[in-house]
Structure 1
Amino acid sequence: MIVCNIDWPAFLARHDLTWTDIGEQWEQGAFLGNGMLGAMIYKDASGSLRWEMGRSDVTAHFQIPMFDWADPRLPIGDFLLSPVGNVRQEQMRLDLWNAEARGEIVTDRGVIRWRSLIHSVDMGLLIEVRAEGEEIDADLSFRPKHGVSPCLEFYEPVHVSREWLKAHTPPEPVVSCEGGIHCAVQDLLAGGDYATAWTEQRDGDGTRRLWATVANSWPRKGAASHAIQTVRDIAAKDVDGWIESHRAWWHDYFPRSFVSISDPYWESFYWIQMYKIASATRSDRALIDSQGPWLTSTPWPTCVWNLNVQLSYWPLLTSNRGDLGESLYTKLDDSIATLRMNVPDLCRRDALGIGRASSCVDLNSRTSAGWETGNLTWVCHNYFRHYRCCMDQDMLRDRLYPMLRGAVNFYFYLMEREDDGTIHLLPTHSPEYGQGTTRDANYDLALLRWGCATLLSLAERLGIEDERIPDWRDVLEHLTPPPVDESGLRVGRDTPFDKSHRHFSHLFSIFPLGLLQPEIEEERELAKRSIEHWLSLDDELQGYTFLAASCMYSRFFHDGDRALDLLNQLKDYIQPNTMYKENGPVIETPLAATESIHDMLLQSHTDPNRSPVMQSVIKVFIATPKAWDDVVFHNLRAEGAFLVSASRADGITQWIRITSEAGERCLIMTDLKQPVQVEGARRFDITPRSGGIFEIDLKAGETIVIADSSDIPDLTVKPVPHVPGATSNIFGMPSDTVPLKGGRPAH
């Protein structure tokens, strides 16, 4: 029997972010969130400690022509803790297990000790302050920001008149106070408003507590009354009980799965992302846009659908936290009418689509025949994996199947058949390649082929005689092969890949769709040539380039050493608090890097080449780098609705446990030469198949443990020791690190 010996508070404490010097940049701060309300804590230019507030659904519902990509998120304001004296020493810690920040500020006038949290369920922020000396008079205040699109900061409006700008700008926020509760209200040009409310309490022992919230109302106004009532409600609660209820959510969340590796950098990074993703979204709250609930100055205050949204949700499936992904999939389901209006008039009878950018509230984002036609189909690949990990048949029939069908239908308006019978695509755009509009774009060819193959599999499973089945089969039989040249996969028929490009859109047949087959030597060589050519043109590569390339080497070549080498190159882009920025801050890349870690431990991706058979292989430690000689994971999730646990010591697999939730066919690839059952409620058949694969006759609800001999190994799940000399608490701005390029700690 598996025994979990994990001291969760102690384990996560070694991954807490710590600061002995608090920086003045967003990417240097401590972040709190509950999937809607967020705060980034860092130093203000004035020397005050600031809580930069955000709420994911606060948007303009209005676009400024020539500036905004879509309805933008809007800034809210900052809570400020301003010492009386001059700061001599300061420290801060982000406690992952309890999801709270705390710190100390020592000045020449006294000491301030503080802690802060955003409640896991309630829309409430708490800042608690205890002070000594003259710092008992430290100021706690709110500085509202004007609710203007952040894009105006990046695209200076020098070419428009002051009158034009005023007509496209809402009024300044209005601050009032009634009954001890302050409120800052920002009216919107498109109707509605949002409001920040706060109040301060003082206990007899000198403890000060600031309670705050942000409320949003659209299209009618009314945010102020809602915000004031929320503050009144949370401030009346028993503080200790309120904090315990907050912690209870997090203490239930973290143990859903467990990963420990001997590499302290990536282990810490991994667990901070698990904290970050649950701070950024919840199943019933806003979907993740480019910054999550931590909006700051940025040129991208929107959802971006040609990569950012998809990558942001990658951490959730293998980590067994997929319910949080419902924030995306429910929003898609609720937006069918909008997705239909996003495609050209001619296509609206049966097609769905989404363009490059939208708000997280309204998915209005028009696309066209020559633009990014495949974005929704790519999102459906996420949706499909979400289904495969839970095997919810109602979700498949009522939600995923019609969504994917509509996305693929869009392509049928963009095809032409040449005289030889081959089907080609009209010009479409390969994200985000300059001059990337081309016939037979590899991005779209791959998505179309994957979509048709997957729809055939889903129709087979559902027993649906869909009228489109002959069309999907026709595409699979006659669609033109991917355009290639001596360097590998081209951008498309008319466009070679001949300049640096951060996006992997032209490589979709390799990753993430898995259309090329590594067991076919010609396709294996094509994949290798294409990836290395992509990486060799390095002027415009960015952080997510390397996490994607890492996944390619793990999945396609099972080369864990090369995968880790590529992932390590991401370190140059990781900021002190594990956030990420290019022209502006975005959050998808660090989140998605957890998929690179997962792929080095456990893989289970459904093979589209076997359509209409829906089949995946559970691959355990087949791409684990030699440097990670000790690894343990528990209750990671594999496609087919399997929960998988495994242990590796000194580079050798010790045992693997598999639980089937849905009774899907159980195929496993492992470095165990001849797996032997060591635990299980009955004697299971373990049958060798071709390609180093074994089949286990596991039924729904059954569990098996296998090892390389019948001797029962140590089945304890516990943190593995780190490499000798390794430090803990790597992230933040601890005393023994200095931020380098991209914020990578250097010891």
Structure 2
Amino acid sequence: MKIKLLFACLLLAGAAAAQHDYAARYTSVFTAPPKRTPTSKVPDAPLSGNGDIGLTFGGTPGHLRLYLGKNDFWRAYPVYPGGGIALPGGLDILSPEMGDADYYAEQRPQHAGIFSRFEKNGRKVEMNTWVAAVNNCVVIEYRVNKPVTLQLKLWTPEGNTGVTAAGSEGKVKWVTRSFENTPLLEWPSHVAIALAVQGAGISADGKVTLQPGKKTTVTVTLFTNHDRPDWKTAAIRDAAGMSDKKLAKISKDHLAWWKRFWERSHVEIGDSVLERYYYNSLYLFAASSRPGKFAPGIWGPFITKDSTAWGGDYHLNYNYQAPYWASFSSNHTELADNYDQPLLDYLDRGRVHAKYLLNKRGVYYPVGLGPKGLCTTRWPLTPEEMLARYGTTDNKIDSGYKFLGQKINAVFGAANMFMRFYSTYDADYAKKVYPFLLANADFWEDYLKWENGRYVIEMDHFNEVMPNLRNKGQWKQMLGDYNSSLSLGLVKMLFKGMLEVSRYTGQDSARREKWQHILTHLSAFPTGQTQDGRVALKNVEKSPVAGQMQPRGLARVSIHGLILPGEVCGPVTDSAFNAILLSDVAHWKDRMQSPGEWGNTLGNGLETSFPGAVRVGYDGDEIIRQLKDRIQLQTFPNGWITQAGGGIETLAAVPLTINEMLLQSYEGRVRVFPNWNRQRDAHFDSLRAYGAFLVSSAVKNGGVQYVKILSEKGRDCELENPWPGRKVKLVRKNTAPVMFSGKVLHISTKENDVFELYAAD
């Protein structure tokens, strides 16, 4: 027993170093300049970021173009294209001597660096480029073997009603871009970008000569008016104040931040392909999202032009929520700190929509938001533009806002709040988001209809319903969905969550009876019989669109309601219904035309379909095979798995799928290696389970070696026996071992309690 305990302790003690080392293994290598940068979607270039500033490393050795995005630089206009997140600008690095040089670059996730090397005719230029983790600056460190002259040019885009300026103060070069004083602009945005050089002089026209044996460092500092009111002065002052001592401090803080990040959890599964995308996905999302900063939009801070697809906004019918899903189980809840604010900021407007458009209490949200109470999804403001883009002159649909036939945008937004609450049982967090959750409960209490002994949902649509150039005026005939599986699942999620949060915080006890009644009497999820005689899920119970009522089986949109993030179905919750969903997943192969198409994830749903299949209990080896086929089919060299309909949400796909195979808890029961072939050796450290538990475990030679649990909040832990049919020994420090038996182990814990479990025989 002492040997086992020593082994476990040594393994856990090495977890932090192992995670950092594993991240270091999975450097992304580029041997040619990026081909799809700039873009309105995901760039294919090396990337670095600090969750606020994003650096996209574009261009060629003779003319590098570094694009600088920032999560808080928006054109706060209610229609896209034109409105949405905007491009602050960037830095051009011109070096005619290095034109057509050999290209080599590495994206290094362990510390968010981009190392690049360019060689031509015996001349070698090396660059180490990184966005400082806790400072508003980009650092570029140069080394050369022969003198090389560069020309550095800050730039910022023209047009789109932006106002630009450029100048210099001492040795600092600067540019600014502003959006202000434009009709319908809801708030101004200003950005300043300031450049300074250490270790070499810079001429009036931006020329710098690099010398061998001497390091030259270029810094680029960015501030917006959302960072601080003296945004321009601060950028210039910080750039001017750069020194070797200050840069050493910035570097030290940067490396320490990323070290702490990688120490939060660790996974090893013996599969280098999936581990590569696991660690790079965690890296890219950490580079996209940070506490205290504006939440990332669809493309994160990796913006390379204005008017990105869908305005780069917060799209509420899954795109905004999905990027965060792996953060909870990966023990990176800090990356979700910025998620709630845009939803809270829209509360007052959401109440107005509910009252005046639907005559209901609570909140009714359009499909797309931005920061600070901005709606990004208004219909075009003139009938002529509406006709050109959507085939109808009616731009007053729903008073000019895009709800697209769906009532679920706000309640969809509540899903991540529940996930975070269940993961942490943080009372302060629960009280912070409770007004939003309660407003959703108000709305759905009013909107649900009592009919023949059950609650039903009318006119909330499974898919977006809107005019377009194909259907023109015919789109209204598609309205009329009744009991959409998406809606039923999310509403059930809401009232299940309201009961738990209300009990935990002690609020609104008088309303729990009503919420429980809704939960108990909500309509059953619609199913039907397929042509081959099996029972399968239906999208909706009734619809004017006949195809919607066919039993098509579980798919991306229905997974959102039922499995992820809805979390109201599963093998523990209802094994009989779960068997139907499992059969549906087994038939995904029937629709495949070629490898990589499993789950129909080329358009959307990579981050939903694969972990959804895990949660219903589909064969783990088959999921791994299909996931690797999907990765091979469509990915960029920077580790970003791409799909047509969105961007940073795919960063959740691999981490969440793997985490769910190793550890599940969403049904109130902790299960280790629930969908993992135990003949595959694997281990994980400090993955987060619902109930505020941090769990570590390993499987080797077909058996679970141990389970270690830290209980942060002292809640009761329900653990499925990792050794079926065997007795279990629970060990705590300085206490006698306790024996358990049975299929499910019920373990009482105290706050910050740590215990380990082993097979007793």
Q: TM-score, normalised by structure 2?
A: 0.81
Per-residue deviation, 1:115: 0.8
Residue 391 and residue 348 in structure 1: after superposition, are their counterparts in 2 closer, same or farther (change >3 A)?
farther
Q: C-alpha distance in 2, partners of 1:271/1:349?
A: 45
Residue 628 of structure 2, aligned match among 547, 568, 580: 568
Residue 461 of structure 1, aligned match among 496, 504, 515: 504
Q: What's the counterpart of residue 14 of structure 2?
A: 5
Please tell me whether the aligned partners of residues 354 and 365 of structure 1 are also in contact (alpha carbons under 8 angstroms).
no
Residue 122 of structure 1, aligned match among 135, 153, 158: 135
Greater RCO structure (CA 8 Å; 6+ sep): 1
Per-residue deviation, 1:348: 8.2
Q: C-alpha distance in 2, partners of 1:35/1:339?
A: 28
Q: C-alpha distance in 2, partners of 1:447/1:686?
A: 40
Q: C-alpha distance in 1, partners of 2:265/2:59?
A: 35
Q: C-alpha distance in 2, partners of 1:677/1:20?
A: 53
Asked whether 1:78 is paired with 2:90, we answer yes
Q: C-alpha distance in 1, partners of 2:276/2:237?
A: 39
Please tell me whether the aligned partners of residues 601 and 643 of structure 2 are also in contact (alpha carbons under 8 angstroms).
no
SS at match of 1:504: helix
Q: C-alpha distance in 2, partners of 1:533/1:436?
A: 29
Q: C-alpha distance in 2, partners of 1:547/1:282?
A: 21
Residue 153 of structure 2, aligned match among 118, 130, 141: 141
Q: What's the counterpart of residue 445 of structure 1?
A: 488
Q: C-alpha distance in 2, partners of 1:356/1:551?
A: 24
Name the Cα RMSD after superposition.
3.0
Asked whether 1:646 is paired with 2:637, we answer no
| Code of the aligned partner of 1:86 | G
Q: C-alpha distance in 2, partners of 1:474/1:500?
A: 28
Residue 274 and residue 426 in structure 1: after superposition, are their counterparts in 2 closer, same or farther (change >3 A)?
same
Please tell me whether the aligned partners of residues 154 and 173 of structure 2 are also in contact (alpha carbons under 8 angstroms).
no
| Code of the aligned partner of 1:429 | H
Per-residue deviation, 1:258: 1.1
Residue 521 and residue 334 in structure 1: after superposition, are their counterparts in 2 closer, same or farther (change >3 A)?
closer
Q: C-alpha distance in 2, partners of 1:5/1:525?
A: 40
Q: What's the counterpart of residue 30 of structure 1?
A: 46
Residue 391 and residue 521 in structure 1: after superposition, are their counterparts in 2 closer, same or farther (change >3 A)?
closer
Per-residue deviation, 1:641: 1.0
Q: C-alpha distance in 2, partners of 1:220/1:119?
A: 18
SS at match of 1:526: helix
Q: What's the counterpart of residue 736 of structure 2?
A: 683
Residue 590 of structure 1, aligned match among 626, 631, 651: 651
Residue 295 of structure 2, aligned match among 287, 290, 312: 287
Q: C-alpha distance in 2, partners of 1:125/1:521?
A: 52
Provide, for residues 710-740 of structure 1, a one-character-per-residue CA deviation record: whole Å limited to 9, x for no partner: 6xxxxxxxxxxxxxxxxxxxxxxxxxxxxxx
Larger mean CA deviation between 359-368 and 317-326 belongs to 359-368
Please tell me whether the aligned partners of residues 129 and 140 of structure 2 are also in contact (alpha carbons under 8 angstroms).
yes
Residue 408 of structure 1, aligned match among 441, 451, 462: 441
Residue 388 of structure 1, aligned match among 419, 422, 445: 422
Q: What's the counterpart of residue 687 of structure 2?
A: 636
1:599-614 correspondence to structure 2 within 5 Å = 599-605=660-666, 607=667
Residue 424 of structure 1, aligned match among 429, 438, 456: 456
Please tell me whether the aligned partners of residues 404 and 464 of structure 2 are also in contact (alpha carbons under 8 angstroms).
no
Provide, for residues 283-329 of structure 1, a one-character-per-residue CA deviation record: whole Å limited to 9, x for no partner: 11121210111113431321211111211101211111112211112
Q: What's the counterpart of residue 195 of structure 1?
A: 192
Please tell me whether the aligned partners of residues 56 and 66 of structure 2 are also in contact (alpha carbons under 8 angstroms).
yes
Q: C-alpha distance in 1, partners of 2:630/2:372?
A: 31
Per-residue deviation, 1:550: 2.4
SS at match of 1:250: helix
Please tell me whether the aligned partners of residues 193 and 220 of structure 1 are also in contact (alpha carbons under 8 angstroms).
no
Please tell me whether the aligned partners of residues 76 and 146 of structure 1 are also in contact (alpha carbons under 8 angstroms).
no
1:82-93 correspondence to structure 2 within 5 Å = 82-83=94-95, 84-93=97-106
SS at match of 1:267: helix
Flag structure 2 segments of 5+ consecutive residues without an equivalent: 1-5, 38-42, 201-210, 378-400, 467-477, 531-535, 594-599
SS at match of 1:327: coil
Please tell me whether the aligned partners of residues 288 and 312 of structure 1 are also in contact (alpha carbons under 8 angstroms).
no
1:126-205 correspondence to structure 2 within 5 Å = 126-134=139-147, 136-146=148-158, 148=160, 169-171=161-163, 173-188=164-179, 189=182, 190=185, 191-203=188-200
Q: C-alpha distance in 2, partners of 1:447/1:280?
A: 27
Residue 233 and residue 356 in structure 1: after superposition, are their counterparts in 2 closer, same or farther (change >3 A)?
farther
| Code of the aligned partner of 2:329 | T
Q: C-alpha distance in 2, partners of 1:23/1:565?
A: 29
Q: What's the counterpart of residue 224 of structure 1?
A: 232
Provide, for residues 608-660 of structure 1, a one-character-per-residue CA deviation record: whole Å limited to 9, x for no partner: xxxxxxxx11110121136x711111111111111111111133211111121
1:214-613 correspondence to structure 2 within 5 Å = 214-217=222-225, 223-235=231-243, 237-297=245-305, 298-300=308-310, 301-345=312-356, 350-364=361-375, 371-396=405-430, 398-418=431-451, 420-432=452-464, 435=478, 438-487=481-530, 488-492=536-540, 493-494=542-543, 495-496=548-549, 503-505=556-558, 508-518=561-571, 520=574, 522-532=576-586, 536-537=590-591, 541-542=601-602, 544-557=604-617, 559-571=619-631, 572-583=633-644, 586-605=647-666, 607=667
SS at match of 1:294: coil
| Code of the aligned partner of 2:291 | S
Residue 465 and residue 583 in structure 1: after superposition, are their counterparts in 2 closer, same or farther (change >3 A)?
closer
Residue 361 and residue 116 in structure 1: after superposition, are their counterparts in 2 closer, same or farther (change >3 A)?
farther
Larger mean CA deviation between 385-394 and 569-578 belongs to 569-578
Residue 671 of structure 2, aligned match among 611, 619, 622: 619
| Code of the aligned partner of 1:217 | N
Q: TM-score, normalised by structure 1?
A: 0.82
Per-residue deviation, 1:267: 1.1
SS at match of 1:508: helix
| Code of the aligned partner of 2:66 | W
Please tell me whether the aligned partners of residues 354 and 364 of structure 1 are also in contact (alpha carbons under 8 angstroms).
no
Q: C-alpha distance in 1, partners of 2:504/2:645?
A: 44
Please tell me whether the aligned partners of residues 181 and 199 of structure 1 are also in contact (alpha carbons under 8 angstroms).
yes
Per-residue deviation, 1:521: 5.5
| Code of the aligned partner of 2:248 | D
SS at match of 1:127: strand
Asked whether 1:102 is paired with 2:115, we answer yes
Per-residue deviation, 1:561: 2.2
Please tell me whether the aligned partners of residues 52 and 294 of structure 2 are also in contact (alpha carbons under 8 angstroms).
yes
Per-residue deviation, 1:509: 2.0
Larger mean CA deviation between 176-185 and 312-321 belongs to 176-185
Per-residue deviation, 1:558: 5.7
Q: C-alpha distance in 1, partners of 2:402/2:744?
A: 44
Per-residue deviation, 1:243: 1.0
Please tell me whether the aligned partners of residues 604 and 645 of structure 2 are also in contact (alpha carbons under 8 angstroms).
no
Provide, for residues 200-251 of structure 1, a one-character-per-residue CA deviation record: whole Å limited to 9, x for no partner: 2334854332211222227998643232123223457532232112111111
Q: What's the counterpart of residue 388 of structure 2?
A: none
Residue 289 and residue 431 in structure 1: after superposition, are their counterparts in 2 closer, same or farther (change >3 A)?
farther
Per-residue deviation, 1:43: 2.6
SS at match of 1:443: helix
| Code of the aligned partner of 1:325 | A
| Code of the aligned partner of 2:112 | A
Q: C-alpha distance in 1, partners of 2:47/2:480?
A: 39
Larger mean CA deviation between 320-329 and 46-55 belongs to 46-55
Per-residue deviation, 1:533: 5.5
Q: C-alpha distance in 1, partners of 2:554/2:66?
A: 36
Please tell me whether the aligned partners of residues 341 and 348 of structure 1 are also in contact (alpha carbons under 8 angstroms).
no
Larger mean CA deviation between 235-244 and 592-601 belongs to 235-244
Provide, for residues 19-64 of structure 1, a one-character-per-residue CA deviation record: whole Å limited to 9, x for no partner: 23332334432211111111011335x8522211100110001245
Per-residue deviation, 1:473: 2.9
Please tell me whether the aligned partners of residues 489 and 526 of structure 1 are also in contact (alpha carbons under 8 angstroms).
yes
Q: C-alpha distance in 2, partners of 1:686/1:621?
A: 22
